[in-house]
Amino acid sequence: MLHLLLTQYPGRVALGVEQAAIVLGLSAHTVRAWMREGRLPGARKVGGKWIVPLPELAEVLEPTVRAPELPARPRVASSSRRRRAVVMN
């Protein structure tokens, strides 16, 4: 996705609100709200205008697949008493 964005916007490293809205298929108002709320990673104000770097925009469009986190190992309760199995015939 990043390669496609770099091809579509040659020489650019970041996009403004209007361009990001076109790429995301959202309104400029929604993109500005997302930037204010921190929902677009890497978005920041430069010279009073919002920009979002192309790599972060590509990550929003096509998230990198990450391995799932492993669950915590079960804890074995230590007990001084031993349990015995009862076998019924």
Instruction: Tell me the CATH number at 17.
Output: 1.10.10
Tokens of 60: 């929003």
In a domain, 88, yes or no: no
Instruction: Give the number of other CB atoms < 10 A from CB of residue 45.
Output: 10
In a domain, 77, yes or no: no
Domain residues for 25? 2-61
Task: For the full predicted model, state whether its pTM sits above 0.75.
Answer: no
In a domain, 86, yes or no: no
Q: At what angle do helices 28-37 and 17-24 cross, to 10 degrees?
A: 100
Q: Give the gyration radius of the chain's Cα atoms.
A: 25
* Tens-binned pLDDT, residue by residue, of the chain (89 aa): 788 888 888 888 999 999 999 999 999 999 999 999 999 989 999 999 999 999 999 988 888 888 888 888 777 666 556 666 667 76
Give how many domains the chain has, as a whole number: 1
